[in-house]
């Protein structure tokens, strides 16, 4: 007669307590040793019966539970091992995205960009309280931009490369003669209000030749410089014309690189001139890449 393998409720409860004790016993030990001890204690003599009581014994269930405990531990261990692998894959994916962003501004065609240092010669422009002239500092910045350019497909041309006065008409004509693709005029601002500060970028007035294409150029360059200046804005003059912008035949912007009349902006310009130059180069590259992408589409 086959014996039933179901136990009474009180015996089942007793068996559950045994499972808990077994799991504590093998926390840092080999479960096979405990299983062997259980068998030895339950069946001190080896019996070879056709129907052996062991097959329906609580001892067998305890041994099966020992196997399950080890399996659970192994499964938990595997999950812990997988975590660093998943983290590594996410990290590699992040690097790949970063590389894609870094190459997003790549351009394929050659471009000529005019860098126009404002004022010059007898026209000093705005002056700081210490006598530093806008014309001199603007020239330093355009030279810095040209020197730091690493893109062989962008050629920067200076409308003036020394302290000399150049007429506004000659600046726009210089752009035409060089068959320029972009015109970027560099200045520093000034105000009777010594507290006024920040970056300002001007576009041609509405209705001028390069108005539509100049807006995204101004916006992209402004974004590339926002981490440097405390405040920034893209503007367009409606009443008073900015000759070099409104008469330009190509997209054109005028960058007011902080307020020379503000001590903090002046210090910022001097200490972060290289960062400002890099930001302008980055903005120009991104704009040109964006325009190429639109043509392809």
Give this prediction's pTM: 0.66
Per CATH, the homologous superfamily of domain 111-296 is: Zn-dependent exopeptidases (3.40.630.40)
Per-residue DSSP letters for 33-68?
HHHHHHHHHH-SS----SS-GGGG-HHHHHHHHHHH
d(CA 49, CA 32) in angstroms, rounded, equals 24
d(CA 39, CA 45) in angstroms, rounded, equals 10
Q: What is the pLDDT of residue 267?
A: 97
Dihedral pair phi/psi, residue 61, rounded to 5°: -65, -35
Q: What is the pLDDT of residue 5?
A: 46
Q: What is the pLDDT of residue 241?
A: 87
d(CA 179, CA 291) in angstroms, rounded, equals 18
For the chain, the structural domain boundaries read 9-102, 111-296
Dihedral pair phi/psi, residue 164, rounded to 5°: -140, 155
Q: What is the pLDDT of residue 116?
A: 98
d(CA 248, CA 187) in angstroms, rounded, equals 17
d(CA 124, CA 264) in angstroms, rounded, equals 21
Q: What is the pLDDT of residue 238?
A: 81
Provide block-wise average pLDDT over 10 residues at a time, the chain (297 residues).
48 59 58 57 51 54 58 55 64 50 70 98 96 97 98 98 97 98 98 97 93 96 94 89 95 98 97 97 97 82
d(CA 208, CA 247) in angstroms, rounded, equals 7
39 alpha-carbon distance from chain centroid: 64
Sign for the CA dihedral angle at 103, 105, 111, 117 comes to negative
Q: What is the pLDDT of residue 38?
A: 55
d(CA 282, CA 130) in angstroms, rounded, equals 32
* Token pair of 95 as six digits: 């690097």
Q: What is the pLDDT of residue 22?
A: 59
Sign for the CA dihedral angle at 20, 21, 22, 24 comes to positive
Dihedral pair phi/psi, residue 36, rounded to 5°: -65, -40
């Amino acid at each position: 007669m086959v014996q039933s393998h179901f136990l009474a409720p009180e015996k089942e409860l007793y068996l559950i307590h045994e499972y808990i004790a077994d799991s504590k016993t093998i926390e840092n030990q080999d479960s096979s040793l405990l299983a062997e001890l259980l068998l030895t204690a339950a069946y001190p003599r080896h019996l070879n019966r056709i129907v052996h009581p062991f097959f329906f014994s609580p001892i067998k269930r305890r041994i099966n539970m020992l196997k399950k405990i080890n399996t659970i531990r192994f499964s938990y261990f595997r999950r812990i091992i997988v975590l660093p692998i998943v983290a590594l894959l996410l990290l590699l994916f992040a690097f790949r995205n970063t590389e894609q962003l870094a190459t997003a501004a790549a351009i394929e065609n050659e471009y000529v960009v005019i860098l126009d240092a404002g004022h010059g010669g007898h026209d000093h422009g705005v002056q700081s309280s210490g006598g530093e002239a806008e014309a001199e500092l603007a020239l330093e910045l355009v030279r810095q931009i040209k020197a730091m350019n690493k893109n062989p497909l962008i050629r920067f041309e200076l409308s003036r490369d020394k302290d000399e006065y150049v007429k506004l008409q000659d600046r726009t004509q210089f752009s035409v003669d060089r068959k320029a693709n972009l015109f970027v005029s560099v200045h520093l601002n000034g105000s009777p209000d010594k507290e006024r500060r920040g970056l300002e970028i001007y576009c041609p007035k509405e209705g001028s030749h390069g108005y539509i294409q100049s807006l995204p150029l101004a916006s992209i360059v402004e974004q590339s410089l926002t981490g440097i200046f405390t405040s920034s804005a893209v503007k367009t003059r409606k009443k008073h014309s900015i000759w070099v912008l409104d008469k330009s035949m190509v997209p054109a912007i005028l960058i007011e690189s902080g307020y020379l009349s503000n001590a903090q902006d002046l210090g910022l310009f001097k200490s972060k001139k290289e960062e400002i130059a890099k930001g302008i180069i980055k903005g120009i590259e991104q704009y040109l890449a964006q325009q190429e992408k639109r043509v392809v589409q």
